A and B are shown apart, each in its own frame.
Chain A
Amino acid sequence: MRTTFIDTLTDLAYADPRITLVTGDLGFGVVQKFAERFPDQFVNAGVAEQNMTGLATGMALAGRIVFTYSIANFPTLRPLEQIRNDAAYHNANVIVVAVGGGMSYGAFGMTHHATEDIAILRSLPQMTVLAPGDPAETTAATRKVGEGIGPVYLRLGRAGEPTVHTGPIDWHLGKALVTREGTDGTIISTGAMLHTAVAAANQLAETAGIELRVLSMHTIKPLDSDAIVAAAEETGAVITLEEHSILGGLGGAVAEVLLEAGVPGVAFKRIGLPSQYITEVGNQDYLRKVHGLDVDSVARTTLQTLEKTNRAARHAA
């Protein structure tokens, strides 16, 4: 995703001299080419995220469209007040980019896992919060925010995320992408869990004849309430999937919508990380498995949730 992001940003920078990349001294092997090609559109702020975010706001107020770039929590939680008071309050064109959403940095440990970022940043007024599901969505999201739409949090994976969308996608900010059609239930996925969501749905189709809808909820804010309510009404079960704490992230946001919409008889389950710091050591796949975010675990949890619905009962009958 990060390579896709920087390639897209490079295209944007060619076309628009306002596009500026500010890194917190990270992005080895990724940002150098950009820096060489666009020296007036690149800044290395050093290992100083508060100044990075403040100066990005100053640059935005002076006319630039500024992407701040670092990994996991460094561009988000470290300068959170600069994001709130500076970028968001001024409605500045500052796009906070975090590579390594969730547990992408696996064995590097807890300090390098971003697992509360969505919850925290979606609570900030003015912020758009994006977590694209694959490289194709990353390109679309980067292009959109590069237009200058105000403050944005763009949560990316790290590298090597599989492509889910093999053909062209009809990506719109704030509109869930129907990635798989089905009527027996819906998995709503955000960020790089999309591939897992689709794989789990395919597995359940093969093993149990259950056809699940899969929504890629790449935009967590503004949230596509219509797609969520439609999924609940049309499929009877909603399972949210995120590489993030189950507190306040995608699952929390979807729950807010569902309960207020009052759709009757919907089975609902949040799949995400428990609210505890991860102490196990291992790569992303390993940690996902430990915490029930691998394909088999997601399929199993989904099936258990579907069993609660009348629809699944009918299906079984």
Chain B
Amino acid sequence: MKPKEELAELARRIRVHAVKMANRAGSCHVGSSLSMAEILSVLYGGVMNVDPTHPEAPNRDRFVLSKGHACGALYSVLAESGFFPLEWLESFFQNGGRLPGHATAKGIPGIEVSTGSLGHGLPIAVGMALTAKRDQQPYRVFCVLSDGECDEGSNWEAAMFAPHHQLDNLVAIIDYNKIQSLGHVDEVLPLEPFTDKWQAFGWQVVEVDGHSIDQLTTTLQAVPTTQGKPTCVIAHTVKGKGVDFMEDQLLWHYRTPRGEEYTAALEQLGEVA
């Protein structure tokens, strides 16, 4: 595990890349990337057994980004971790580039699963975890979901399935930033009592501050948290975290940082434009 300071720096760099990529591309979903920067930095900073020089090693831990629209953060952490060159980030969303606006596994080392349509990641992660169990392989599967995508029924099909098969090698991490596409989660389709729901489905649930490197490290390193049970980490986060005018603002699900906003965002993230 990297020291805490390095994990914080990795999270900062993820945010800087995400903002720069959105600016260059004229794209959106910055807020969704910023809210999960610490989750990714802790996972790739030491929790997960992955090796950028052997991205397809059979016993690697698997990572599935179900909220594929936040791929800016994923591409960034992979590039920072050495899976592919940082320069690739410059082609994000660009004509002829490698990296589309939703996570793709096509030719991108380190990405296991292509996602974008919501509610797909957890069932796939479940299949991987089940196979690891059946084949007596040691790897674990980490799946990051958005809160909004918990509207999708497919997630709850998977949520029923995983505890029945005692998939304690499976971790669902929910980036609970409280904002979905057209409004606050509580206004659109409330998830609460969220912890109770996952518990009722048979999951071991841990609530954490999703921006606390300490809490994330302690929780994710402890997986499997309970023998025979999958773990659901409900990570309370802030959409747009790290840039004050983006924080908890629906607008930054869509808006491209440009001009003074762009400069200000980078400045707040400790970067010169």
* B-contact bits for A47-60, CB 8 A (1 contact / 0 none): 01011011111111
Residues of chain A contacted by B157 (CB below 8 angstroms)? 45-46, 48, 50-51
* B-contact bits for A24-51, CB 8 A (1 contact / 0 none): 0000000000000000100101101011
Chain B: residues with Cβ within 8 Å of the partner, total of: 30
**Shortest distance between the CB of B61 and any CB in chain A (Å):** 12
The yes or no answer to A14 lying at the interface (CB within 8 A) is no
- A55–B126 CB distance below 8 A: yes
The yes or no answer to B86 lying at the interface (CB within 8 A) is no
**Shortest distance between the CB of A236 and any CB in chain B (Å):** 46
* Contacts A55-B123, A55-B161, A58-B123; A50 near B153 (Cβ below 8 A): yes
Closest to B102 in A: A85
Residues of chain A contacted by B117 (CB below 8 angstroms)? 81, 85
Residues of chain B contacted by A122 (CB below 8 angstroms)? none
CB contact between B127 and one of A46, A50, A54, A81 (< 8 Å): that residue? A54
CB contact between A61 and one of B128, B154, B158 (< 8 Å): that residue? B128
Residues of chain B contacted by A86 (CB below 8 angstroms)? 113, 120, 123-124
* B-contact bits for A68-91, CB 8 A (1 contact / 0 none): 000000000000011001100110
- A62–B132 CB distance below 8 A: yes
CB contact between A62 and one of B120, B123, B127 (< 8 Å): that residue? B127
Closest to A82 in B: B120
Query: 14 A–B contact pairs at CB < 8 A?
Result: A40-B134, A48-B161, A51-B126, A54-B158, A58-B127, A58-B128, A61-B112, A62-B127, A62-B131, A85-B116, A85-B120, A89-B114, A90-B105, A90-B114
Residues of chain A contacted by B105 (CB below 8 angstroms)? 90
The yes or no answer to A155 lying at the interface (CB within 8 A) is no
Complex alpha-carbon distance, A55 and B124, angstroms: 5
Complex alpha-carbon distance, A63 and B26, angstroms: 39
- A55–B120 CB distance below 8 A: no
* Contacts A46-B157, A51-B157; A58 near B130 (Cβ below 8 A): yes
Closest to B126 in A: A55
The yes or no answer to B135 lying at the interface (CB within 8 A) is yes
Complex alpha-carbon distance, A55 and B164, angstroms: 14
Please report A residues at the B interface, Cβ cutoff 8 Å: 40, 43, 45-46, 48, 50-51, 53-64, 66, 81-82, 85-86, 89-90
- B130–A43 CB distance below 8 A: yes
CB contact between B130 and one of A59, A81, A89 (< 8 Å): that residue? A59
Complex alpha-carbon distance, A59 and B127, angstroms: 5
Complex alpha-carbon distance, A53 and B127, angstroms: 9
The yes or no answer to B57 lying at the interface (CB within 8 A) is no
* A-contact bits for B142-157, CB 8 A (1 contact / 0 none): 0000000000011001
Complex alpha-carbon distance, A98 and B39, angstroms: 40
Residues of chain B contacted by A40 (CB below 8 angstroms)? 134
Closest to A47 in B: B157
A-B contact sample (5 more), CB < 8 A, given A55-B130, A57-B127: A51-B161, A54-B124, A64-B131, A82-B123, A85-B116
Complex alpha-carbon distance, A61 and B120, angstroms: 14
Complex alpha-carbon distance, A63 and B154, angstroms: 23
Residues of chain A contacted by B99 (CB below 8 angstroms)? none
CB contact between B158 and one of A55, A60, A63, A89 (< 8 Å): that residue? A55
List the 3 closest pairs (A to B, CB-CB), nearest first: A58-B127, A54-B123, A51-B157
The yes or no answer to B1 lying at the interface (CB within 8 A) is no
Complex alpha-carbon distance, A82 and B115, angstroms: 11
* Contacts A46-B160, A48-B161; A54 near B120 (Cβ below 8 A): yes
The yes or no answer to B119 lying at the interface (CB within 8 A) is yes
**Shortest distance between the CB of A78 and any CB in chain B (Å):** 11
The yes or no answer to B125 lying at the interface (CB within 8 A) is yes
- A50–B131 CB distance below 8 A: no
- Of A45, A56, A58, A90, the most chain B CB neighbours within 10 A belong to A58
**Shortest distance between the CB of A61 and any CB in chain B (Å):** 6
Complex alpha-carbon distance, A25 and B65, angstroms: 28
